[in-house]
Amino acid sequence: MKRKKVTVVGSGNVGATAAQRIVDQDLADVVLIDIIEGVPQGKALDLLQSGPVEGYDFSLIGTNDYKDTADSDAVIITAGLPRKPGMSRDDLLLKNYEIVKSVTEQIAKHSPNAILIVVSNPLDAMVQTAFKVSGFPKNRVIGMAGVLDSARFRTFIAMELKVSVENIHAFVLGGHGDTMVPLPRYSTVCGIPITELLPKEKIDALVKRTASGGAEIVGLLKTGSAYYAPSAASVEMLEAIFKDKKKILPCAAYLEGEYGIHGLYVGVPVKLGKNGVEEIIQIKLTTEEDAALKKSAAAVKELVEIIKV
């Protein structure tokens, strides 16, 4: 059986940690690519030398040349400038638009059949950029945000209720950032909605902390942003695709009328399998939740209009 090949664009903390998780989980050979000479090569070599200890036997190469990425089955795009303290995701918009545009052009040229998982911020606008620039069908261009936001929400719920995170399912919809829409009604502990286990003000506080989860980490680190959880989230999506799991995860997907939203990437529950996004799951929303999702979509639309994608 031919081994899968994944390219990770960007060999910073998110990209390098994603590469580590991919080989740790026996998913694929990895090409780590970056514009900085030596960094992807050094990190790939270091990861390769962990193989005998960790027990993985995959190829890992670092490169600055997109020719080495040819015929990738999937590409995780983490390239872009990270957020610095005091910067909003939107400050990154124009700079990262140029980066993601040029990356996507190269990827589409060398791996025309790949599935793209976009992690770069501001997420929703960057995945829309990759979709428009690549010309790929919408099922093969997906944004990683909801898995991360849901993981943060689940973490905070588990901390609050002092239960295992494994007992908790949580749903977060909408854009990745301040307008995200966590859904407490659909967030459960062993099937029990958290609305029955926690008072409203406590849930509101957890929702607020989830929405500013990335900013909280940026504030603590001072010289960087989150990477352990973002890389784990992107690799969970990759695993669902490569193993054809039909796993339902919240991802940024291109909507054409679902949830009353047209022509935009917005976070919704999707079924992930070997073809990428195989189905968009439409759940019933209350008037309040629907309004919050529309508001989130409007914020995404503003960014998309600035970069004209």
**Residue 41 structural domain:** 5-143
**pLDDT band of 223, cuts 50, 70, 90:** confident
Asked if 115 and 162 sit in the same domain, the reply is no
For residue 241, the domain's CATH number is: 3.90.110.10
Residue 136 has pLDDT above 70, yes or no: yes
Higher-pLDDT residue of 20, 82: 20
| pLDDT tens, residue by residue, 234-254 | 999 999 999 999 999 999 999
Of 143, 165, 194, the residue that ends a domain is 143
Asked if 139 and 156 sit in the same domain, the reply is no
Range 150-159 average pLDDT: 97
Residue 85 has pLDDT above 80, yes or no: no
Other Cβ atoms closer than 10 A to 178: 15
- Residue 265 is encoded by which pair of tokens? 């990437």
Give the Å distances, CA to CA, from 195 to 75, 155, 180, 184, 199.
38, 16, 18, 6, 7
| pLDDT tens, residue by residue, 50-67 | 999 999 999 999 999 999
Residue 267 has pLDDT above 90, yes or no: yes
Of 143, 169, 198, the residue that ends a domain is 143
Query: Which residues are catalytic, by number?
Result: 176
**pLDDT band of 89, cuts 50, 70, 90:** low
- Residue 15: predicted pLDDT: 98
Mean per-residue pLDDT over the chain, rounded: 95
Range 136-162 average pLDDT: 97
Asked if 35 and 133 sit in the same domain, the reply is yes
Asked if 170 and 71 sit in the same domain, the reply is no
- Residue 25: predicted pLDDT: 97
Asked if 139 and 169 sit in the same domain, the reply is no
For residue 106, the domain's CATH number is: 3.40.50.720
126 touches 100 (CB < 8 A): yes
Asked if 121 and 154 sit in the same domain, the reply is no
- Residue 2: predicted pLDDT: 87
Asked if 127 and 156 sit in the same domain, the reply is no
| Stated pTM of the model | 0.96
Asked if 168 and 287 sit in the same domain, the reply is yes
**pLDDT band of 86, cuts 50, 70, 90:** confident
Of 109, 126, 143, the residue that ends a domain is 143
| pLDDT tens, residue by residue, 170-209 | 989 998 878 889 999 999 999 999 999 999 999 999 999 9
Residue 84 has pLDDT above 80, yes or no: no
- Domain tally for the chain? 2
Asked if 152 and 139 sit in the same domain, the reply is no
